Amino acid sequence: MPTPIRAWLPPASDVRPLRAAVLALLTAVAGLLPTLAAVRMNASADEAAAYAAALRTPVFTPANPLDPDDPDGGSEALASPVPLLRAERAPDALWRAAQEHHIGAEMTAFSSDWPEPHCLAIWIDGTEVFSSDVEGVIPASVQKLITAAAALAVVDPAEQLVTQVLTDAQIVDGVLDGTVWVVGGGDPLIMTQSYADSHRRQPQLRTPMEDLADELVGLGIRSLRGKLIADESRYDATRFPETWPQRYVTQLHSGPLSALSLNDGITGFTTALTAAEHPARWFVSTLADLLTVRGVSVDVEIDVSTAPSGMTEIARLTSPPLIEIIQQMLRESDNTTAELMLREIGLRSAGEGSTPAGAAAAARIVSEMLPQQSPPVVVDGSGLDRQNQLSCSLLAALLDSFGTDSAVAAGLPIAARTGTLSHRFAVHPVAGRLHAKTGLLTGVNSLAGFVQTDGGTVTFAQILNGVPAGTRLGLELQESLVGQLLRYPVGDVAALRGLMRGPA
C-alpha cells in the first residue's frame, strides 16, 4: 500500500515554525535581488538605466487573462500581488545602483586627466557613489574641516572664551594702585575697531577690545598705578608651529600665537603687516593706551607672568560663542584662529595647549568619529603644513555626517556670496548653490562641501596636487567639477538616459 501523503507531512504543531523558516529564507533571497540586478549593470550605463527603468514600471498580472469580457486583461483593483521574489520589491535600491554605476563611469572618465596625485569623493543620500582616493594627498586649507570637527567634539558650541582682569588691590577714590593681571582665555577674535575695518570682507566677527577698556573705566578708575601683567599661560608660548618653514613666518600667513592675542598679533596693518614680538605684552600695552585715551592716568610697569590664585576678577571680555568662532574660521579660512583652536583642542583633550597635543587629539577624535575611513595625518590646524594628509573619502564622509542643516555647513563659504568664495563663481550656474571650504597652496587646490542641485544635495571633496604653479588650472577644474555635480542626483528615467546621451 502506498504511504499516505499525510505521513510525509510534519505534525501539525511543527507546521507554523516551518512556514516561518521558509518565509525567512524567501525574504533573504529577495534581499539579494538588488545585488544580483546590479551585476547585470556592468556591461554599460545604458543597460543599467534601461533595466532600472523597466523595474520602475508597475507590473500587474491579469486577474483573468482569458476572460473576453475583460479586454484590459484584468483591472488594477483585481490584479494579483507581485510575487515575493520579483525585483519590483526593491526598485529604489536598483535605481540607486543604476545611478552609482552611471556616476562612477562618468566621473572616472571626467577626472582621468587631472594632475597627479589627486582624489575625488562624491556622496548622495548618505552613500558614497564615487571615490578615487590615493595615498599622501596634501589638503591645504580644507584641513580646517578636521579642526572644526575635533573642536566641536570637545567644546560646547555655545561656550564663550573669557579674558579676565584680576587684582588683589582695591579701587580707592578712583585710584587702583597695585598689581593687575590680564589673563588670556584663548580668544582669537579680540580686535580693535581699526584692525577689523582694515579687512577686505565686511563685517568682521570680533570681540571688541574697546569693551574691556570701557568696563574698567565704568568701575570708576581714574588712575592706574603699579604693575600691569599679561598672563598667556593657557597655551604654550611657541609663536608658530615648529614644523612650518621660515617663509610662512616671514609672510605672516598666521600671526604669532598667544592665549592673550590682539589683532591676530599684528601691530601694523595700514601699509604693511608687522607682527608683535611679544603678543601678550603688546595686548596689555594697547589696553593701557585705550585707558589713557579715555582719560585714565596710567603709570604702570608692564610684564608677562602667570597670575597667582586667589585674585579677584574686576572685569572680563567675552568672546562670541565658540560655534561662531569656528564658522568664522571656515568662512574666512582664518589661519590664526585655526591654530589657536587646535591648541584649545589639545588643552581640552590632553591638558596641554600646544600644537603637537592638539594635532594628536584632532587626528584621534576624527578617526574615532569615522573608523571606517583612512585616519588623517594632522600636523597643524590651518592646513598650511604640507605634511598634513587627508583622503577625499574622509572629508566627504565627515561633511555628510554633519549634513546641510548643521552649524558646520552654515559656516562654509557660499559661491559668489560669502567668505573665500565671495569673489568666485559669480557667472557660474552654481552661484549661491555651492557651500564649500576652499584650499590653496603652491601646487595644491582643494574644495569640499555641498552642491544644491535640482535633484537634491551632492556632498563632495576634491583635492588636486601637482597643479602647475602660476596657472588657473586648479580653479578651472573646480569650476568644471561643480558644474558636473549640478547634474546629480538623477531623479527619473528620462533624466538618467538624457545624461548618458549628453547634450542634444
Q: What is the pLDDT of residues 390-409, one digit of tens each?
A: 999 999 999 999 999 999 99
CA distance 433 to 416: 9
- 16, containing H or E segment: helix 12-31
Which residues touch 430 (CB under 8 Å, ≥6 apart)? Answer: 415, 451, 482, 483, 486
Q: Which three cell numbers stand for residue 444?
A: 595644491
Residue matched to cell numbers 599661560: 233
Q: Which three cell numbers stand for residue 352?
A: 596641554
In this structure, are residues 123 and 397 in contact, taking their beta carbons and an 8 Å threshold?
yes
Average pLDDT over residues 28-37: 44
Q: Which three cell numbers stand for residue 339?
A: 591654530
pLDDT at 104: 86
pLDDT at 100: 79
pLDDT at 472: 95
Q: What is the pLDDT of residues 240-292, one digit of tens each?
A: 999 999 999 999 999 999 999 999 999 988 888 899 999 999 999 999 999 99
Average pLDDT over residues 422-439: 96
Q: How far apart are the first and last CA of the chain?
A: 76
pLDDT at 272: 84
Which residues touch 73 (CB under 8 Å, ≥6 apart)? Answer: 62, 65
Average pLDDT over residues 170-193: 97
- pLDDT band, residue 64 (cuts 50/70/90): very low
Q: What is the pLDDT of residues 89-144, one digit of tens each?
A: 445 566 667 777 888 889 999 999 999 999 999 999 899 999 998 878 999 999 99
- Out of 61-75, 145-159, 202-216, 441-455, least confident range: 61-75
Between 232 and 495, whose confidence is greater? 232
- 402, containing H or E segment: helix 392-402
pLDDT at 496: 47
Asked whether residue 12 carries a pLDDT value surpassing 50, the answer given is no
Q: What is the pLDDT of residues 341-372, one digit of tens each?
A: 999 999 999 999 999 999 999 999 999 999 99
174-211 burial, b if ≥16 CB within 10 A, otherwise e? ebbeebbbbbbbbbbbbbbeebbeeeeeeebbbbebee
Nearest to 317 by CA among 202, 400, 211: 211
- Three-class secondary structure of residue 186 per DSSP: coil
Q: Which domains does the chain have, with CATH numbers?
A: 5-97 (no CATH), 106-154+327-501 (3.40.710.10), 160-321 (3.50.80.20)
pLDDT at 32: 45
The phi, psi pair for 329, rounded to 5°, reads: -60, -45
CA distance 207 to 193: 10
- pLDDT band, residue 29 (cuts 50/70/90): very low
pTM score: 0.80
Asked whether residue 304 carries a pLDDT value surpassing 60, the answer given is yes
pLDDT at 282: 96
Question: To the nearest whole percent, how much of the chain has pLDDT over 70?
Answer: 78
Looking at this protein, which amino acid is placed at residue 485? L
